[in-house]
């Protein structure tokens, strides 16, 4: 497998809409990608968290949980996750997904975030993310 190179993000303040490059991070055994799924659902900006477990060609372990931490470009005023276990502070959201994941499984879930007003919520973008594995 080749070495991971983090994508470059360019910000253009003059755009009213944008594509959110979001992420591309990994741990020793997980890769993560966070993308904007819907910029306004009536109250929140919806992001899809896509995780792939690659514990090695020897299938060395399973995971009992993953912890995802996502940083945004603005302060959050509310956040939730389909995982049910979600906390936020400032511009950072942390979501824990408990459950078994084999050595080559993929996990996808959504997080819902809100800022001060509709325009700021629509403009939320991911500035970074990390993922950690709890081995079982």
> Residue 16 domain-assigned?
no
Distance from CA of residue 49 to its chain's centroid? 4
pLDDT at 6: 55
* DSSP for 85-133, written as a single string: -EEEETTEEEEEEEEEE-TT-EEEEEEEEE-SSHHHHHT--EEEEEEEE
pLDDT at 4: 57
Beta-sheet pairing, 92-101 with 63-72: antiparallel
**Which domain range does residue 74 map to?**
25-135
> Residue 90 domain-assigned?
yes
**Count of structural domains within the chain:** 1
> Residue 9 domain-assigned?
no
pLDDT at 30: 86
CATH code at position 131: 2.60.40.1170
> Residue 29 domain-assigned?
yes
Separation CA 9–CA 35 (nearest Å): 13
pLDDT at 33: 95
pLDDT at 136: 73
The pLDDT averaged over each successive group of 10 residues in the chain (136 residues) is 54 42 57 95 97 70 89 98 95 93 86 97 97 84
């Amino acid at each position: 497998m080749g070495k991971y190179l983090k994508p470059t993000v360019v910000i253009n303040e003059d755009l009213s809409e944008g594509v959110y490059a979001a992420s591309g991070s990994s741990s020793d055994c997980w890769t993560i990608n966070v993308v904007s799924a819907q910029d306004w659902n009536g109250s929140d900006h919806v992001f899809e968290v896509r995780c792939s477990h690659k514990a090695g060609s020897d299938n060395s372990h399973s995971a009992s949980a993953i912890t995802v931490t996502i940083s945004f470009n603005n302060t959050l005023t509310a956040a939730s996750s389909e995982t049910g276990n979600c906390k936020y502070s400032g511009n950072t959201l942390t979501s824990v997904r408990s459950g078994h994941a084999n050595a080559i499984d993929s996990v996808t879930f959504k997080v819902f975030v809100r800022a001060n007003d509709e325009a700021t919520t629509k403009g939320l973008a991911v500035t970074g993310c990390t993922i950690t594995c709890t081995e079982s």
